A and B are shown apart, each in its own frame.
Chain A
């Protein structure tokens, strides 16, 4: 126990003296939390600029434009003479897509001429482009029966067979389609993951003398408790920032966690402990802080892409699926999203066990390498 106490107090003392190392667990995560929080402040997408190419130039075309303008997700940004001009505006970033209203739309509706209304959107900015295209399609689909009714002599549209299918879709857990809740919830743990990996690698890397931890191992009085004592201040600090983020989203921003917030907080601490264990293993194995930091940037920096939270990995190739399961963030995200959307406690056992396995396997591996190094030089 004394080895643990000594390592802990030495580390805390060091943090008090070294403003740069202290900044890594105070100013840096604080700034990042502010940026990520402010970034998604608005939540859902609103008023995305959409262009119009109106070849109809009649009442039906104007009714379509009114319907589009009424959608909260759409801001009708400009009218263009033809598709070429509109594509130019998309390239220049002035609009995210455009709706081409064909000539004779009104006649088409009334006489069943099969008019084709085209919605073209920017596929290179797929999230915003896809959302504005869906909103435009919904708005036009909802407006068409009324537009048709206006054109018909008896102002009534024959019931469509397609419309007999009443489909009701309910979005559980994120009804307003908010990016704050969807991406915000995912991004900050990923940011803290790399933050934790860097500060922990730096903390152990500081003890390297001529690319060897043997001196530190001998002086530690017990490698495992000393390593725990050394890493604990960082794991606690980063977990506290994770908790601040959760409380900000739930208490300040009013989002609701259906499952257990305590379990998420516990899983988070375990996740950052796992990150610390991997950082220790990287330093022990590479015996160079810079290399351990670079390796952390590669595996933790792009872990979000491999977590399957944005694009699910079902159907991805074998390497992506296997590597996804090797990365700890995948398991933490599974735990967090599961609890946020009200999964049963039983569903949290597997991710918790996986996170604990990182602590044991990576931490044990690191301790074994360092202890062996200590014995060799002794």
Chain B
């Protein structure tokens, strides 16, 4: 079979097999809407807290109103004693407790010590804990600056240095703009991996999995082109529809997409050629999606992992993919700035293609039939 006939035959197989079509093409479209949906509101909102108001002053009541007015926190109850608040937290009604101690207003006006604000948060949900903590500190800082100046006069007694904290690239610090660009790469990789391995697993079962060089090349190119299509759809259309921050270095993306797709397609063909049937691909590779996402270092950086885990992570095209495509698509990086992940992708593409060639073509035909 010639290269172009193998290419056309593979595409024909993909488009006519309900399994491959839904696995590789329809699921990418589905994921583009399904995956960002739980991140559409971008930031934690209205986390339930219980306030223990021991001060019960105009100031503490103002503080509670301000807290409830923030985006992050919703005051579900105001109680007088900590035991009641603890019971609420134990009952799962609140993520945190804010205690406004007795004598707070007096302390703030007169400077006498002995009072303060205490926060207890459930840090098993880390993001909820940090959100509540930041909201409470911001409210208190604001109250100090606006409500407590003696006689309402304006003084310069605030902090001598203003510290400004700003996110770069994903300028709102939203979760969709953070998670979805990285997940998009996992979506392309896993759907293509499943599809290519399912295809090869099926041919293995049928006993027709060995190919000549030209047929292998055409098949690999067909699966790579599916990956390119997936990348174009997600990076081009889905990011735009979903309102994900985009600052594209188009040259780098155009260069990197085929390399990434080839690496994944070759890995999929290689993995599938080891399997006993087509369904085995999803059976074995499906559960790897979540660990592979965390192995990319998108949430927990690669340099925080033990060296052998970080080294293993780099074997997955998605790891170099995240570190090439997120800078290229979201951070406006130049090709030079992502040279290292691009080189990694190229090495993986060549390496997996050679391994797949050796497994599928060379082991059957030592004479290497030419095209």
Contacts and interface: CB of A to CB of B under 8 A. Distances in A.
A117 B126 contact: no
B163 A158 contact: no
B229 interface: no
B60 interface: no
A29 B290 CA distance: 13
B62 to A, nearest CB: 13
B161 A194 contact: no
A162 B159 contact: yes
Given A41-B306, A174-B126, A297-B286, A122 B169 contact: yes
A165 B117 contact: yes
A378 interface: no
B350 interface: no
Contact of A42 (B91, B140, B159, B304): B304
Interface residues of B, number: 119
Nearest to B108: A164
A24 interface: yes
Nearest to B46: A314
A312 B108 contact: no
Given A105-B161, A170-B120, A35 B279 contact: no
A119 B163 contact: yes
Given A123-B168, A293-B283, A343-B90, A174 B41 contact: no
Given A35-B295, A195-B287, A168 B301 contact: no
A372 interface: no
B160 interface: yes
A175 B124 CA distance: 9
A93 B323 contact: yes
A79 interface: no
B235 to A, nearest CB: 14
A252 interface: no
Interface string A134-171: 10010011001000100000000011111011111111
Interface stretch (B212-220, B332-340, B353-361, B363-371): B332-340
A79 B174 CA distance: 28
B125 A309 contact: yes
A57 interface: no
Contacts of B19: 288, 290-291, 294
Contacts of A289: 279
B346 interface: no
B178 A123 contact: yes
Contacts of A120: 166-168
A121 B168 contact: yes
Given A41-B306, A48-B301, A302-B35, A190 B164 contact: no
A124 B177 contact: yes
Contacts of B121: 169-172
Contact of B178 (A40, A45, A124, A195): A124
B338 A311 contact: no
B40 A87 contact: no
Interface residues of A, number: 125
B340 to A, nearest CB: 8
Contacts of A167: 116-119, 136-137, 140
A320 B38 contact: yes
B163 A165 contact: no
Contacts of A24: 283-284
Contact of B286 (A198, A310, A312): A198
Nearest to A27: B284
Contacts of B44: 311-312, 314-315
Contact of B331 (A39, A91, A171): A91
Contacts of B317: none
Interface in B280-333: 280, 282-284, 286-291, 294-295, 298-301, 303-306, 308-309, 312, 323, 326-327, 330-333
A219 interface: no
B58 interface: no
A309 to B, nearest CB: 6
A200 to B, nearest CB: 11
A172 B90 contact: no
A324 interface: yes
B273 interface: no
Interface stretch (A106-114, A222-230, A264-272): A106-114
| Nearest 9 Cβ contacts at the A-B interface | A123-B167, A315-B45, A123-B170, A166-B116, A171-B123, A174-B123, A347-B92, A126-B178, A293-B282
12 contacts: A49-B303, A90-B331, A123-B167, A124-B330, A167-B116, A191-B290, A194-B290, A290-B279, A314-B47, A314-B74, A315-B46, A344-B90
